[in-house]
Structure 1
Amino acid sequence: MVDASNLSLNTATVREQWNLEQCVEGCLRHGFGGIAPWRDKIHEIGIERAARLVSDSGLKVSGLCRGGWFTSEGKITDAVLDDNKRAVDEAVALNAECLVMVVGGIADGSKDLPHARQLVSEGLAKTLDYARSQKMPVAIEPLHPMYAADRACINTLRQALDVCDELGDGIGVAADVYHIWWDPELADQIKRAGKSRLLAYHICDWLVPTSDMLTDRGMMGDGVIDIAAIRKMVEAEGFCGLNEVEIFSANNWWKRDADEVMRTIVDRARDC
C-alpha cells in the first residue's frame, strides 16, 4: 500500500487549476512527500523563487519535467543544447532527483525514424557531458509508440536502456506506466534497468476507450493498467523513490476542484 508520503505530484496533474505555489501548498495540505514541477510552472515565477519555495516546503523533487526535444530541426542546434543546459541548471537549483527527457519525434518534413533516434543519442550525449559536471542524473522517458512521430522516438524501455548502455554513467530511465504497461518485455527490461537506472516512476491509468491520445489519461484504478504489479517490479529492483502522479485529463480531472483531485489520488494510491 502507498500512503501519501510516498507520493509526488507532477504539476501537470493540476496544471489548469494551480500555480506552483498552490501546488506546493496542496502537497503539504494532503501529506504528499514530493513534487515534480514542469518548467512552465517554474518560469511563471522564476527559478530562484521556485527553488526557494520548494526548499522551504521540505518536499522532495522527484524530477523536473522536462528536457529533450532534440529532433525537430533535423539536426542538433545550439538553441536546443542551450535550453537543455538551462534545464539541467534548473534541476540542480531545485535539488531534483533527475531531469526527465522527452526526446522528440521525427524531424519536421522527415520520415527517417532511425535518423531521429541517432539525433537523440547525439543530443543526449552532449547534454550529458554538462549534466555530469553538475552531478544531475538524466532520465530518458520512453513514450508510447503513438507518440513516435511528434513527441518521442524512443518508445520502449529496451530502446532507452540501449541508449543508456551507449552513453554510460549519469543516465537512466523514467518509467511511466502509461507508456510502458503494454510492453511484452516490461518485466525483463525493468530488471535490466536495475536500481541504478530506475530514476523515476510515474503513475496514472489507461482508459478504455481513450478519447484523446494526449489529454485523456485516467486516474489510477479507472483503467486497465495493473499498476500494483508494475510497482512490485520496480521495487523488486530496489527502487525506493516516490510514486509520481502525472495525469493529463482535459475533460475530467483538469475540470475538477484541485483538492478533490488530490484526495482522490491519495485514496487510489492506497487501493492500486
Structure 2
Amino acid sequence: MSEGTTGRGSLSLNQWTTRHWSLAEAVDGCVRHGLESIGLWREKVAEQGLAESVKLVRSAGLRVSSLCRGGFLTAGGLPGEEGRTAFARALEDNRRAIDEAAELAAACLVMVVGGLPGVRPGEALPTTGPAGGFTRDLAGARERVAEALAELAPYAGERGVKLALEPLHPIYCPDRAVLSTLAQALELSLAHPEEQVGVVVDTFHVWWDPRLFEDIARAGSRIAGYQVCDYLHPLPEDVLLGRGMMGDGVIDFRPITRAVQAAGYTGDVEVEIFNADIWAADPDEVVTTMKARYEDVVLPA
C-alpha cells in the first residue's frame, strides 16, 4: 500500500492545485509523494501533447481520476445564427474532450456546463447587442444543456467515457454553471445510462445545500467523482480563488465523505484548489500539506 493510499479511497492531486507544475512535473510529484492518481486539465495536456501525456501517466503507473473540463454548452441560447454556430462549436470541442478522456483512460470528463448565454466567465456583462448582448433566460440555458447532453452522451458511451456533471456554487450561476445543486445535476443525468452520465460532488460547491446528504444517497452509483477543498470566509475579491486547503475554511468534510462512501463511491478523492497563495507556494510543500489534511480533516476518523 503506497503512502497516498489508506484503504478508504485514494488521494488524487488535481493538477490545478499545483498549477505552475507542468504535466510532467505533476506526474513526477505524484510519484515522489506516493500518490496513485492524478486529475488532469486539458490545457496542461495540450501543452505536453496528448500522446506524450498518455505516455507519461502510464509510465508512472498513475490513474487519471478526471479530465477537466468539458462543458460550456449554453451559448446555443443566443438568438439566431450566433446561437446555432456557438452550439455547434461547443459540441465539436466537447467531442474532442471526450476523445482526449478516452485516450487518457480518465475515470470521467468533468462537465462545467456554462452560464447564461453571452456572459463570459469573469468578465463584465456585455453592453451591446440583443438584450444587452446576453440572455437572462436561465430556464432556456438549462434546456440547452439537456439538448447538448442528448448529443454528447451516446458519443461518450461509444468511447467508454463518463460525462460527470458538476454543479457549481450559485455565485457562479451567471457565468460558469447554470447547475447549482447536486439535485439539478442528478436530474439531468437520469435521462442517460449511468455509464454515460454521472455527477461530481465537489465540497466547495455543495457544502451549503440543505439537501446535500439526501441527494448524495440518491445519486448512488451516479457519483463519478469526489473533489475536496475548503470554502474560505471571507471570499477574496476574485471569488474563483476562494478555495482553500482543507481545514482552512468552514466545511465539515467528514460527514460528506461518509455520505459519499455510504452511497457506494470507491473512486479517488481529488484535491482541487484555486488559490493564489497556494499556487505561489512550493508545490512539494503544498502536496505534503494536502496529504496531511486529507488524513486529518477529510477522511472519517
Count of matched residue positions in the alignment of Structure 1 and Structure 2: 268
Tell me what 1:82 maps to: 92
Once the two structures are superposed, residues 111-137 of structure 1 have per-residue CA deviations (whole angstroms, 9 ceiling, x without a partner) of 000000000111112111200111111
For 1:95, the equivalent position in structure 2 comes to: 105
Tell me by how many angstroms 1:166 deviates.
2.3
In structure 2, what is the Cα distance between the partners aligned to 1:135 and 1:19?
Answer: 27
Shift of 1:43: 0.3
Aligned partners of 1:66 and 1:101 also within 8 Å: yes
Aligned counterparts, 1:1-272, within 5 A: 4-5=4-5, 6-15=10-19, 17-74=20-77, 75=83, 77-108=87-118, 109-169=134-194, 170-194=196-220, 196-211=221-236, 212-250=238-276, 252-272=277-297
Structure 1: gaps (5+ residues): none
Taking the aligned partners of 2:35 and 2:113, their CA distance within structure 1 comes to 29
Q: Deviations over 1:78-101 (max 9, x none)?
A: 211111011011001111101110
The share of aligned pairs that are identical, in percent, is 48
Contact 1:172 1:197 in 2 (8 A): yes
Deviation at 1:4, TM superposition (A): 1.9
Partners of 1:73 and 1:19 in 2: CA distance:
33
Cα distance in 1 for partners of 2:229, 2:177 equals 19
Checking the alignment, whether the CA contact within 8 Å between 1:9 and 1:35 is kept in structure 2 is yes
Contact 1:102 1:142 in 2 (8 A): yes
Rg bigger for which structure? 2
Question: Which one has more relative contact order, counting CA pairs under 8 Å at least 6 apart?
Answer: 1
Provide the TM-score with structure 1 as the length reference. Answer: 0.96
CA deviation digits over 1:148-170, x for unaligned, max 9?
A: 11000011010001101223432
* 1:33–1:242 CA contact under 8 A, matched in 2: no
Does the Cα contact within 8 Å between 1:140 and 1:174 map onto a contact in 2? yes
CA distance in structure 2 between the partners assigned to 1:92 and 1:166 by the alignment: 22
Per the alignment, in what secondary structure is the counterpart of residue 199 of structure 2? strand
Structure 2: segments with no counterpart, 5+ residues: 78-82, 119-133
What RMSD in Å do the two structures reach over aligned CA positions? Answer: 1.3
CA apart distance, 1:73: 4.4
Once the two structures are superposed, residues 199-236 of structure 1 have per-residue CA deviations (whole angstroms, 9 ceiling, x without a partner) of: 10000001111113101211000111111110000001
Q: Please, what TM-score do these two structures have when normalized by structure 2?
A: 0.87
Superposed CA deviations along residues 44-76 of structure 1, whole A, max 9, x for unmatched, are 021111011111111111110000111134246
Name the counterpart of 2:129. Answer: none
Instruction: Judge conservation of contact 2:14–2:38 (CA < 8 Å) in 1.
Output: yes
Distance 1:27 1:220 in 2: 19
The runs of at least 4 aligned residues of structure 1 exceeding 3 Å deviation read none
CA–CA separation in structure 2 for the residues paired with 1:207 and 1:14: 18
Whole-Å Cα distance in 2 between the matches of residues 162 and 216 of structure 1? 28
Measure, in 2, the Cα distance between the counterparts of 1:130 and 1:96: 15
